[in-house]
Chains A and B, each alone.
Chain A
Amino acid sequence: MTSAIPKTVIIIAGALFFCSLPWAADYFGEQYLISLFTRILIYSLAAVSLDLLIGYGGLISLGHAAFVGIGAYVTAIFFHHSFVAEPIAGIVAGSDNALLVWPLAIIISAAFALIIGSLSLRTSGMHFIMITLAFAQMLYYFAVGLEKYGGDDGLSLYSRNQLVGMDLNNDVHFYFVCLFFLTLFLFISHRLVKSRFGLVLRGAASSSRRIKALGIPERRYKLVCFVIGGAGAGLAGALLANQTEYVSPGLLHWTLSGELMVMVLLGGLGSLFGPVLGATAYLLLEETLAMYTEHWMVYFGPILIMVVLFAKRGLFGFLTQKE
């Protein structure tokens, strides 16, 4: 079969591609590519954070979109209140400063992940899948019920956040900010999965029985993993809110959770860089199929089933492994 390509080669190629994309788009005069690939970067970030859960922690969460949504809503709500110059709940002033709002989005998403995770991790297996889904759906309905922030219709931002030394309303600047955060998160995750914590986590995913028999209380480690994943998704949410300058309950919907899962699988479970490939492939495929038919999902569904049944290693695995 095909000879394997070393991982580093793929990663370097990917890095070069993403770094040079704005110039390429400029050269070919296809400016919309920048915003398309910004979206790809952001979804990649969310998918990588989900890969930490599924691929390394063995935690099949079907509610990951909730944390994307929380990050996005935090950003939008702070923006809204600074825009109308009215404190949030009459106490906290709004803000459109990225250095303030984005960390808040991360922290609040992480806090929700802590609560949802500690409840959900009381269970495992099928229960865990259904419970994460149900909690995410609960937050979805909560967002729908937020009349003050547009309810079903969502909330517009009118402008992106302020970041010192950058003009986020400039698409190229914003693109590189997203690329920076994706790279940072990839690097952190890479260290994480190789660390003692990561070793315990991978062990727990591989054999929960053995990890307990070694005297390790696995649930705490899984919970921390769940929180870190939630934090990453929260950051992705904050970026997404900035990109589209709009948030709606759709961001918390479980179909987004499912799509993120598809991206992870498509790219390669437990490979960190794989989900980036997966998100890229998924969104480009969607974009392309949608050009030919509005009913692209009718083809995509069976494709997905085929991938699950026959090509489980994903793109990254396909490229890097022999046999």
Chain B
Amino acid sequence: MADYILQVKGLCKSFGAVQASQDLSFGIQRGHIHALIGPNGAGKTTVLNLLSGELQPDSGSILLNSEEINKLPVHKRVKAGLGRSFQITSIFNDLSVAENMALAILAGRGHNFRFWKNAMAVDIVQHTLTEALARVDLSGRAEQQAGRLSHGEKRQLEVGMALVGGPQLLMLDEPMAGQGAGGTVELQKLISGLKGTTTILLVEHDMDVVFSLADQISVIVYGHCIASGSPEEIRRNSEVQNAYLGEH
């Protein structure tokens, strides 16, 4: 029996006439890097939004560690072990890089109704901030306003913030998009370094990256999951060839 960290059963979601998810079912095994691929507008981001709780499914269920999380709001799902990065970079543009990371560190440490002590002087921030920034190569940028980082650096920061909370399942929505070649290699290294410790759901268009990193791949086309399996199986799958990979 495989050990599934996340299972999705019969998930449906439509926006008016657009059926963005149609009866999706798949499972993600603990410790795997599970890639979600599909053409533009196939419904990949919608899946992440459904999993994270930003969207409510019309029907179907989502199980995290065998417990239903359908009803939980976004922040409770994070507490339950989900972390993510967004396709459209979403960091705190008005705060400094260090403050961004500090906030990510503090988020998972009880409540933040502490009104007097400087947040940056809190012990846990002092202890972990340097390392957390170094992990995503942003040590030299700590005092910079995050909104002024380059596109690639923003991406790194976002992934770093998602990582620092120690999620059980990390969902990354096209983390390589807009990265230069160097950035892609760096991120790829970072992600493969997480293999085994953090389960990752990776949405990515770069097929080289996907096939070199993923343990499992699910292919989504028009909201349907048309195939799910190991990279080898997916490569051989004729339906996938026709619907998707053939285009490239």
Contact = CB atoms under 8 A, between A and B. Distances in A.
A–B proximity contact (CB within 8 A): yes
Interface of A: 191-192, 194-200, 202-203, 205-207, 209-217, 221, 224
Contacts of A216: 75, 107, 112
Contact of B116 (A191, A212, A214, A224): A191
Contact of B92 (A192, A207, A224): A207
Contacts of B67: none
Nearest to B99: A199
Contacts of B104: 214
Contact of A203 (B52, B75, B95, B162): B95
Contacts of B108: 214-215
B91 A200 contact: no
Given A205-B94, A214-B165, A200 B78 contact: no
A209 B158 CA distance: 12
B90 interface: yes
Contacts of B161: 210, 214
Contacts, number: 101
B95 A213 contact: no
Interface of B: 52, 54, 73-79, 83-84, 86, 90-95, 99-100, 102-104, 106-108, 112-120, 122, 161-162, 165
Contacts of A211: 92, 103
B91 A210 contact: yes
A209 B90 contact: yes
B103 A200 contact: yes
Q: Which of A191, A200, A210, A216 has the most CB atoms of chain B within a 10 A radius of its CB?
A: A210
Nearest to A215: B78
26 contacts: A191-B118, A192-B115, A196-B113, A196-B117, A196-B122, A197-B113, A197-B114, A197-B115, A199-B119, A200-B106, A202-B92, A203-B95, A203-B100, A206-B92, A206-B93, A207-B90, A209-B86, A212-B75, A212-B78, A213-B52, A213-B83, A214-B108, A215-B76, A215-B78, A216-B107, A221-B113
Contacts of A199: 95, 99, 102-103, 106, 112, 119
Q: Which of A196, A202, A209, A212 has the most CB atoms of chain B within a 10 A radius of its CB?
A: A196
Interface of A: prevailing SS: helix
A196 B106 contact: yes
Nearest to B104: A214
A214 B77 CA distance: 10
B130 to A, nearest CB: 18
A206 B92 CA distance: 5
B89 to A, nearest CB: 10
A213 B108 CA distance: 11
A147 B238 CA distance: 82
A207 B93 contact: yes
A194 B162 CA distance: 23
Q: Which of A211, A213, A216 has the most CB atoms of chain B within a 10 A radius of its CB?
A: A213
Contact of B114 (A195, A205, A207, A215): A195
A207 to B, nearest CB: 5
Given A199-B99, A213-B86, A191 B75 contact: no
A267 B112 CA distance: 29
Contact of B90 (A191, A200, A213, A217): A213
A207 B99 CA distance: 13
A198 B99 CA distance: 11
A297 B114 CA distance: 43
B36 to A, nearest CB: 18
Contacts of A206: 92-95
A217 B75 contact: yes
Contacts of B103: 199-200, 203, 211, 214
A213 B78 contact: yes
Contacts of A217: 73, 75
Contacts of B114: 195-197
Given A199-B106, A215-B165, A221-B112, A210 B75 contact: no
Contacts of B118: 191, 194-195
Given A196-B117, A215-B78, A207 B91 contact: yes
Contacts of A214: 78, 103-104, 107-108, 161, 165
A209 to B, nearest CB: 5
A216 B76 CA distance: 8
Given A191-B116, A195-B116, A197-B115, A215 B93 contact: no
B208 to A, nearest CB: 28
B92 A213 contact: no
B63 to A, nearest CB: 19
Given A198-B119, A199-B106, A210 B112 contact: no
Closest 3 CB pairs of A and B: A215-B78, A214-B107, A206-B92
